[in-house]
Structure 1
């Protein structure tokens, strides 16, 4: 019996040692550098999986979905939930990446479009005040333009627009709100106008000052903080839509796009918008445009425009924050007391729409439509929108209607 006990004890001891050696070898294997890295990586994956599982929001289903008795239905339900979780996790992950990239991109755009704020007094305000005060004796009309594109794209078309403005408003003051033009090269581009006594200045926008004490201020602060989706449409284009409204609200005057040719004096126009399209059946406008806006300072309609921009901004729909915004608001406030403004027919600023603009650049047989259009422009039009998006690449053919308009608007023709 003693021998049996000793043998059992030695066998137990031998097995214990083998198990102990096995544990040591396993731990040494796990803690060896290649395997430990693998274990650490596996731990990260498990942690990430747990994080995504608990952070994805699954919408509440109706109570009937949870009254499941059939094992088959229960299995299908669980599989669909798991698929939903996986898809939600992936879309959540990738949408976050896209959002952060988009916000970063448009924050860079903000820096490139505007000037740095100066406190306690805005440098923008100081320059603007000095400009208007120095020319107050002869500054009969105030005009504003915006240029949010690179300087290299500022060409003859834009210069002709400025020429046409001063041809019919030689005593006007023009402010071009633009960071790219507020530069040494920009000064050289505008020098011929200044040298000939015309009052024009380019100045980089101070968005904080321009939007202050309006609904645009809150919206813009949220945009800078990354709490507004800027969308796929150019942020500069949408900021230009908002800038023109805020500038007119704060200072009053006339805003025109740099692809608008002025054909007559605006001196008798006040609180005016132009219709882009007109419904011949009803005799009413069907769409307005914001390429030309003429308003008094602090006009209530401008306040409504800015409010609408801030509350309904959508960076993915073309025109939603521009012409369509103007149309929406005007259709709501028309007839209300306190909103005094005039809507001019399309012939005033948009005698030819974007679909017909090409015909004015060609020297061709004058159709009845063209002959009637020329007569209408001469009699009724204060300006002509050239729809740059559709006409920028078109060449001005000698003898065309546009060639004739340019000759009439030119003030540096002999240079």
Structure 2
């Protein structure tokens, strides 16, 4: 499969990892891969290293496709660049994409609403800023939900039943004394936090 975006050609057989250099290219990309049904799109963010993306994260993706086989999953990440990581999903016809993001690209793509939010991004990009990956997660979640709507899901959330078509925000607290890695905590069928579903 060959895709042309900006000045980079990406050739993958069963997987897609996309690097985009300008705002027009990302708009064309999303126009092509975003599903027509607004609730078929799932966003997630991964800011840690590829080595930390282990089997339990794939279980989360399994749970999305198990209950929403028509879903399009877009993982926004500065680090997941392995072309075989999601090949098994693609070979079974599931739509999953990994789009390379960073503070610099977010500024280049104009993923901010005004000058203060641009300054916020620039400040987070400073090498001296601690825990910047956590702030990047939060910023990307809010910005892409604002721009495109649909569903943001943390890569720690297992879906145990199909999600309804209604907008909601669900947040669970895990008891600090609980030793269980995956614990059902509420009636919604979600494990751990967090999922945000919205329609624009």
Q: TM-score range by the shorter chain?
A: 0.7 to 0.9
1:162 aligns with 2:58: no
Aligned residue in 2 for 1:282: none
Q: Which runs of 5+ in 1 are unaligned?
A: 1-114, 277-349, 362-372, 388-415
Shift of 1:139: 6.7
TM-score, length of structure 1 as denominator length: 0.37
d(CA) in 1 for partners of 2:75 and 2:133? 15
Which residue matches 1:128? 30
Q: Is the 8 A contact 1:141 1:173 kept in 2?
A: yes
1:192 aligns with 2:192: no
Tell me which residue corresponds to 1:384. 191
The verdict on how the C-alpha distance between 1:154 and 1:210 changes in structure 2, with shifts beyond 3 A counting, is: farther
Post-superposition CA distance 1:254-273 (Å, at most 9, x none):
11111111112223331x22
User: What corresponds to 2:117 in structure 1?
Assistant: 216
Task: Using the TM superposition, give the Cα deviation of residue 131 of structure 1 relative to its aligned residue in structure 2, in angstroms.
Answer: 1.1
Question: Cα deviation per residue 1:267-301 (whole Å; 9 max; x = unaligned)?
Answer: 3331x22243xxxxxxxxxxxxxxxxxxxxxxxxx
Partner deviation per Cα, 1:66-111 (whole Å, 9 max, x = no partner): xxxxxxxxxxxxxxxxxxxxxxxxxxxxxxxxxxxxxxxxxxxxxx
Question: Helix, strand or coil for the counterpart of 1:211?
Answer: coil
Structure 1 residues 126, 274: CA separation in 2 closer, same or farther (over 3 Å shift)? same
Contact 2:39 2:165 in 1 (8 A): no
Corresponding residue for residue 74 of structure 2: 175
Structure 1 residue 256 and structure 2 residue 153: aligned?
yes
Equivalent residue number for residue 11 of structure 2: none
Give the whole-Å Cα distance in 1 for the aligned partners of 2:180 and 2:124.
41
Q: Greater share of strand residues, 1 or 2?
A: 2
Decide whether aligned partners of structure 1 residues 386 and 219 sit closer, same or farther in structure 2, where only a CA change above 3 A counts. closer
SS across alignment from 1:355: coil
In 2: Cα distance, 1:253 partner to 1:176 partner: 14
- State the SS of the aligned residue for 1:144: strand
Partners of 2:53 and 2:124 in 1: how far apart?
27
Tell me the CA shift for residue 243 of structure 1: 0.7
Q: Is the 8 A contact 1:140 1:171 kept in 2?
A: no
Superposition deviation, residue 126 in structure 1: 2.7
Contact kept, 8 Å, 1:264 with 1:382, in 2: the verdict is yes
Q: Is the CA contact (8 Å cut-off) linking 1:210 and 1:247 kept in structure 2? A: no
Alpha-carbon separation, structure 2, partners of 1:146 and 1:358: 25
Aligned partners of 1:152 and 1:211: how far apart in 2?
A: 28
1:275 and 1:236 map into 2 onto residues whose CA distance is 20
Point out where structure 2 has 5 or more consecutive residues left out of the alignment: 1-18, 195-200
| Aligned match of 1:269 | 166
Which protein has greater RCO, CA pairs closer than 8 Å, 6+ apart? 2
1:146–1:177 contact (8 Å) kept in structure 2: yes
Superposition RMSD in Å: 2.8
Give the C-alpha shift of residue 236 in structure 1: 1.1
Question: Normalized against structure 2, the TM-score is what?
Answer: 0.73
Structure 1 residues 200-246: Cα deviation after superposition (integer angstroms, max 9, x where no partner): 1000123122623344223113445x5x962x3x2111111111000
The partner residue of 1:141 within 29, 37, 40 is 40
> Rg bigger for which structure?
1
Residue 358 of structure 1 corresponds to 179
User: Is the CA contact 2:73–2:97 (under 8 Å) kept in the aligned structure 1?
Assistant: yes
Alpha-carbon offset, residue 196 of structure 1: 1.1
